[in-house]
A and B are shown apart, each in its own frame.
Chain A
Amino acid sequence: MREISYSEAIREALCEEMRLNPHAYLMGEDVAVFGGVWGVSEGMLAEFGPDRVRDTPISEAAIIGAGLGSAMVGMRPIVEIMFGDFLMCAGDQLVNQVAKARFMSGGKARIPLTIRVTSGAPGSAAAQHSQSPEAWFMNVPGLKIATPSSPADAKGLLKTAIRGDDPVLFFEHKMLYGEKGPVPEDENYTLPFGKADIVRPGTDITVIGISIMVKKALEAAELLSAEGISVEVIDPRTLVPLDKETLIQSVAKTSRVVIAHEAHRRAGPGAEIAAMLAEEAIEYLDGPIIRVGAKNVPLPYGPDMEEFVLPGTKEIIEAIRSLV
């Protein structure tokens, strides 16, 4: 299979879906002429024109809210929020309007709105451009949350998001944009939400990795395999809905679990997953559930401090060793 980057895979999904559906359009800050500050939408203006690939003012609430309004009357908007940190500028629209409109209307509103947003620390971007805010929104019923970790997953999950009739927060990790991998060319290739991926099978311990931490968990698994430790790496792919069954089955097999994410440790996605496993799989566990995440401080600017605060392969290995 041909290999393309995470960024190219996302662009391919966008272009394919916009060719298939005339009501799909892309809107956001610098997405058209600039091609997106991450380069994801490069070339799309030329193909689709300024009506369907729209540069907006720096107005996150209007971007998300206008996406919502247009979705309610039959469009299929894909909006881009340049940094996940900026979602807070659109907090009301996202949490009180987008997430709740369908429920409040008695299940009658149809909101096929995909909100593409970047997450993660790209290196010395400091505290307001580096966050991984997925868990903030896990506590808001009405949103779906996807966290692709590979080019193929990015394409398949994004196409599902665009084709679905619900609002989706689609988190693209900034440090994954350049990652290459095999990606199906089939325009009908999609990946279901709520179906975890057993990225690397193993028998001694389960590492549940989210977004870029899947890559780091794989590195840890490879290093530890030399010592005879067999690590199973699982990527939930979507945090809402969450594939509990696959996670529980893995824990039933390995009896040990580490959950790794780049979000802060306190009340990050791992807190929910750990609580779920404690409630539903405690009888399989031979040790504590360990979470690996960023330290509970804002992300610092200086490279050494940043590396100290962020979780990495080393922290995953330490967590695994403490259990095996």
Chain B
Amino acid sequence: MKHDPITQYSRDLLAHLYRKMILVREFELRAIEERRRGLIPGFIHSCVGQEATAVGACAALSREDVITSTHRGHGHLLGKGGDPKYMMAELAGRSTGYCLGRGGSLHLANFDLGILGANGIVGGGFPMAVGAALAYQMRGDDQVALAFFGDGAINEGSFHESANLAGLWKLPVIFFCENNLYGEGTPQSQQAPIADLALRAEGYGFPGHIVDGNDVVAVYKATVKARVRALAGEGPTLIEAKTYRFRGHYEGDPQVYRLPGELAAWKKRDPIPAFRQQLILANIFDESQIVDMEVSVQAELDEAVNFATDSPFPAVEEALKGVYANTHEGLVF
């Protein structure tokens, strides 16, 4: 798969993949910086190093397809069309954020973009994705649901119940595992007796594929294939993308658990410079076109940070709204 020439893909797609990966990387670095400066009050679980999985997988989806995301979800959201302005505003707890400041990083959601939600609970999104896929199957809609999750989440019971149900009913769902080798602060090797988590798919009656999670085109291609299968009524696919996170589980994580030399070795496989070089070597873009993309990303993020900074905080009473759709006028809950 790796040896396929990238020239077979459209220039638009390749530009999209590169620009989005830069956007994800730089969004994360800005968010980390703005948290340090005090704009962002809560947790950040950055996906620096994992841009290819988020961007490659989302690029294979239609706008109408849905995703469920995770605590490490900024890349997924940007990949699915999230606007950095409203995301940054949400991280800053402002009333202009996607969730009006009520959700924060762990609960970013936007239903118009097919983002059913990041999630603060490891493994929390699986059943939701399966349910959306069930709706599509029942209605005959040409849509799929993709559940992002990590190597830690595959050991949650919710994965078992969801994968079994999806396999049983041949639901149009893609289980997309970002295996970054650590579940929080414990190595994957100490959390599961197998290194290749894709093997688990067989037990649920659907295929599991391993893909190089730092190769955005390979991720895209594997996800396209899984989507075609899902839409054909053949059921789910488990994709295990092998990748690595360059920063801690959360910002502030002392990262005592990493093996010596491991981070440096993975940084040599950073998905972004590798793809940049590929694009230039294949004469798809020249250096100046690439730099233009990089500059435009910085401008977009400047705007996002300014938008968040200038946005008002919600009035505290806003916290009392939005719990129920039907509030039964006059009743206090």
Contacts and interface: CB of A to CB of B under 8 A. Distances in A.
Interface of A: 25, 51-52, 56-57, 59-62, 64-75, 77, 92-93, 96-97, 100-111, 141-142, 144, 164-166, 192-194, 240-244
B110 to A, nearest CB: 8
Interface of B: 66, 68, 97-103, 107, 109-111, 116-117, 119-121, 123-124, 126-136, 138-139, 145, 157-158, 161-162, 164-165, 168, 321-326, 328, 331-333
Contacts, number: 168
Contacts of A107: 100, 102, 321-323
A244 B100 contact: no
A70 B66 CA distance: 11
B183 to A, nearest CB: 17
A193 B126 CA distance: 31
B16 to A, nearest CB: 25
A232 B9 CA distance: 76
9 contacts: A57-B164, A57-B168, A62-B130, A62-B161, A72-B111, A97-B119, A104-B99, A141-B333, A166-B326
A142 B323 contact: yes
A166 B131 contact: no
B99 to A, nearest CB: 4
Contact of B127 (A65, A110, A166): A65
A142 B136 contact: no
B165 A56 contact: yes
A105 B103 contact: yes
Contacts of A165: 325-326
B332 A66 contact: no
Given A104-B103, A106-B322, A109-B109, 11 more contacts: A57-B165, A57-B168, A66-B127, A67-B131, A70-B135, A73-B132, A93-B158, A104-B109, A105-B109, A106-B101, A142-B324
B81 to A, nearest CB: 16
B190 to A, nearest CB: 23
B111 A105 contact: yes
Contact of A240 (B97, B107, B168, B333): B333
B124 A68 contact: no
B128 A72 contact: yes
B158 A92 contact: yes
Contacts of A67: 131
A-B complex: 3 closest residue pairs judged by Cβ atoms: A65-B127, A69-B131, A107-B322
| Residue from B102, B109, B331 with most neighbouring chain A CB atoms (10 Å) | B331
Given A93-B158, A164-B326, A69 B109 contact: no
A108 B107 CA distance: 12
A62 B128 contact: no
A192 B328 CA distance: 9
A304 B157 CA distance: 38
Contacts of A105: 98-99, 102-103, 107, 109-111, 117
| Residue from A141, A144, A194 with most neighbouring chain B CB atoms (10 Å) | A194
A66 B131 contact: yes
| Residue from B109, B116, B127, B322 with most neighbouring chain A CB atoms (10 Å) | B127
Contacts of B124: 92-93, 96-97
A216 B24 CA distance: 62
A241 B333 contact: yes
A77 B135 CA distance: 10
Contact of A108 (B109, B138, B162, B328): B109
Contacts of A100: 107
A59 B164 contact: yes
B114 to A, nearest CB: 9
Nearest to B119: A97
